[in-house]
Chains A and B, each alone.
Chain A
């Protein structure tokens, strides 16, 4: 069985940032990533990020991904690609299905002194008659197809959900040449930032607030969508149906943290709807209730890439400190700075709920540890 100092599960913004901070202090890091290229969702984030110059604001996500990969390479971080973690066991042992080539796989086991769970999140589905038809897909899936694989999923797209994912992916599908037939939002108001919505409305894209999808239909793939006004009790208002010609329906209904590893690692989980559901609680070092197991990014509660990067940094610093690579004073100062940047990113009306939810996680950790 292989041994390592620090094992990071998932090479997205959180995992890469954790690896970089720790490796800079001298920790030997292994990252395992399920995909052909590390970077998580960053390479499909072709838009400029919010934040301040401290968080690389105004830079496109894909360029941030490239920068993080280059820094990992320089620091000698060992990145295992095409490597699926299938389980986590006692004594910090992780089993990995490593794809050697198209047909050959090998099972590897690694034991690590410290583990970072940075597995990210998965998309929520919405069910309606016809949702299993070809052409109906997650907004994130459509974004991967268009921006990463450069395949346009369809020409006439209806987006379900007006959160930032729904708005940004609609904009990007339009940049890629698709027509956005409309954006449907069951709530009475747009969920994401107004600036993202305004980018679409000034191109003439209708946003149907207070509407929901009733049905999708088609023979070989979806070719019609019916939407209608929603009543407060979630029934639809008869007579308000609108039929739209579409070839694609994308669902941007939010994300939920991937908790498989946290559960297997015996980390205490709590349910909080502002963080996407179940997620492990943790302390100021991002360590879970299981000693030596840390969590960062969407796996610790769904937020966005900038917060994932900062949480990853906290993990990396804390691990370098725990392994004796960073002096306590310096590490505490660095962690404090990262938490300061996190507080900045969680400011504003959209961040207040997340800030409160994150505080609940920290409190829960205390409660559990104090028994």
Chain B
């Protein structure tokens, strides 16, 4: 499964792209890793680094390059990253434990020394972790930064604190036999998909044609909600292009207005 399907990066992906610090470097002391692999036009990490260890360059869509020799793992970039994609890893802490620092923007009541369930990039509970540090600097503008102590073999995995919840999903053989024709499309005028298809059968080929036959789009919202849906149905039925289907003619009043307000303009 790829990142684009799952939203979950792996260490292997990052190593392959040459974007993960070496074991040797992590053993020397804390170092930042930018788990940012798409060219997003964004560079606050470069601006934030007090040691000029992050390079993006003039083209702000370049991926951040972290100079692991200049980086001392200060964690400034962790809260500066708008994508919350920078972490600081440290395997120098002890032989059996390491540290992971990550951004955390949720309400919480965690305290230093709390033992918490640590979660991996997929949100799975993988090990226990001890909170070593919680910072909330003014510069970080409400992005809390948490440092967890975890068994050293989990430093490459842990990226957040596990979230308890009860997902109640069950595979069921249910089939919705409701005909799609029953489904409301224009909710203001209560016009169903079936009525719209009927209008198309009668010869409507565009938004206006459907509107004149069914009133779809003539209610309070003036088609802001249903127009694109009517467009889809016409395309499905007739294969017309969006340019041929057009749109309903915008006219005054663009939003509902009372006759009283309209009539009140007597001075001109």
Tell me which residues across on chain B come within 8 A of A264, comparing CB atoms.
250-252, 254
Q: Which residues of A contact B160 (CB under 8 A)?
A: 202-203
Secondary structure at the B interface, as helix, strand, loop or mixed, is loop
The residues of A that contact B261 with a CB separation of less than 8 Å are 97, 105-107
Q: Is A363 an interface residue (CB 8 A)?
A: no
Given contacts A107-B261, A226-B174, contact A201 B7 (CB under 8 A): yes
B242-A127 in contact (CB<8A): no
B185 touches A127 (CB 8 A): yes
Q: Does B265 contact A260, Cβ atoms closer than 8 Å?
A: no
Number of A-B contacts (CB under 8 A): 246
Closest chain B residue, CB of each to CB of A58 = B44
Given contacts A194-B38, A204-B123, A271-B242, contact A189 B257 (CB under 8 A): no
Cα A34 to Cα B257 in complex, Å, equals: 13
The reply to whether B119 and A202 contact each other, CB–CB distance below 8 Å, is yes
A125 interface residue, CB < 8 Å from B? yes
Q: Which of A240-248, A280-288, A321-329 contacts B (4 or more CB under 8 A)?
A: A240-248
Look across to chain B and name the residue whose beta carbon is closest to the beta carbon of A307: B41
Q: Mark B75-96, 1 if CB is under 8 A from A, else 0.
A: 0000010111100000000000
Counting CB contacts under 8 A, is B253 at the interface?
Answer: yes
Number of interface residues, chain A, beta carbon within 8 A: 90
30 pairs from A and B in contact (CB 8 Å cutoff): A48-B44, A48-B82, A50-B40, A50-B42, A52-B42, A52-B44, A57-B42, A57-B82, A97-B257, A124-B228, A126-B229, A129-B183, A179-B165, A181-B169, A189-B5, A193-B38, A193-B40, A196-B83, A201-B8, A204-B122, A204-B163, A207-B6, A210-B5, A261-B250, A277-B242, A277-B247, A344-B61, A347-B41, A350-B40, A351-B61
Chain A residues in the interface with B (C-beta under 8 A): 1, 34, 47-53, 57-60, 63, 84-87, 89, 95, 97, 105-107, 109, 122, 124-129, 131-132, 162, 174-175, 177, 179, 181-182, 188-190, 193-207, 209-210, 214-215, 226, 238-239, 241-245, 256, 258-261, 263-264, 271, 273, 277-278, 344-351
19 new A-B contacts, CB < 8 A, other than A86-B254, A194-B9, A241-B175, are: A1-B268, A48-B143, A50-B41, A52-B43, A53-B43, A86-B253, A97-B261, A125-B229, A175-B105, A179-B165, A189-B2, A189-B5, A195-B40, A198-B121, A203-B160, A206-B167, A243-B172, A245-B169, A351-B61
